[in-house]
Amino acid sequence: MSTNPSDWIPLRSGSWSLAVDPLGAQLSLLRDSHDRDLLWNADPAFWTGRSPLLFPIVGTLNGGEYAWRGKRHALPRHGLARTRRFEVIREEERDLLFRLASTPETLLLYPFQFELDVAYRLEGAAFEIEATARNLGNEPMPASLGFHPAFRWPLPFGGARNEHAIEFTYAESAPVRRLDAQGLLSPQSHPSPVRGRILPLDDSLFEPDVLIFDRLQSRQLLFGVPGTTRLGVSFAGATHLGLWTKPGADFLCIEPWRGVADPAGFTGDLDAKPGAFIVPPGGSQSLSMRLDLVDED
């Protein structure tokens, strides 16, 4: 879902050219200094997202609902922020700030007074996105945050699609997680498909849906073809990382999360939801992601 591209707000530096849709505060265009597209184009034949923001949940709820204070509340997959228009708070040469505040409508879905800020910043050759959830109410606020950017696969820097790989900072041998047919976190773990620090990319990895790392050592990775320019992705505060595509589509989602889908069979209150964090009254919690273009020496 998106508005007319003429509504998107641009941001440009010597290294990046981007535009953000106020609907969902969604990054909707990302190009390098040579005007090459790095972000998926939302082709409806596969997936209409580009880079949705996930709040106040990540993934799917058991039965599409969560419990809070003896009541059941429905929330769609990935929450409510991605379908709501954000207010533009700041629009500067290298800095954009968007804000979503709770309303009577959101309180029916998520009974907490909140502000959700999303900042886009250009800092030298780097590009950073930071989402901050602020609790304006009088009781602790359980929440999750996540990014869901879909990057071109193949990237426009040379090399075939089947030559692309993820290179982690450290060897990643811990088991990975999968979702069940209802989109809930399966209790089973699966052997890591990472070979040392390298994850070769192939559509077969994603036939069971998203690949979830919940015991990841690395907080940085490179995406692309070794020997070419690659996309560096840093996500220091994330607790989970999802990798996802629809087999056959020309995108790869690299998704840092603070949160995860409900485990199969989970029926607890929202503050007991695995992966959720608690924001105290007057407090805030953030998640950031940094992008760099990395050339081989």
194-250 pLDDT, tens digit per residue, is 999 999 999 999 999 999 999 999 999 999 999 999 999 999 999 999 999 999 999
Q: Is 71 exposed, middle or buried (0-12, 13-18, 19+ CB in 10 A)?
A: exposed
* pLDDT(1) > 80: no
42-97 pLDDT, tens digit per residue, is 999 999 999 999 999 999 999 999 999 999 999 999 999 999 999 999 999 899 99
179: how many CB neighbours lie within 10 A of its CB?
21
Of 228, 233, 239, nearest to 252 by C-alpha is 233
Per cent of the chain over pLDDT 70 is 99
* pLDDT(141) > 60: yes
C-alpha 194/C-alpha 201 separation (Å) is 10
Residue 115's domain spans which residues? 5-294
User: What type of residue sits at position 180?
Assistant: D
Mean pLDDT of the chain: 96
248-277 pLDDT, tens digit per residue, is 999 999 999 999 999 999 999 999 999 999
C-alpha 278/C-alpha 141 separation (Å) is 5
Q: What is the mean pLDDT of residues 4-17?
A: 93
Distances (CA, A) of 57 to 80, 95, 233, 274: 8, 26, 22, 11
Structural domain count of the chain: 1
* pLDDT(4) > 90: no
pLDDT of residue 93: 87
111-132 pLDDT, tens digit per residue, is 999 999 999 999 889 999 999 9
Per cent of the chain over pLDDT 90 is 96
C-alpha 289/C-alpha 284 separation (Å) is 17
pLDDT of residue 124: 86
**For the whole model, what pTM was predicted?**
0.97
Instruction: Please report, for the domain that includes residue 257, its CATH number.
Output: 2.70.98.10
Q: What is the mean pLDDT of residues 23-27?
A: 98
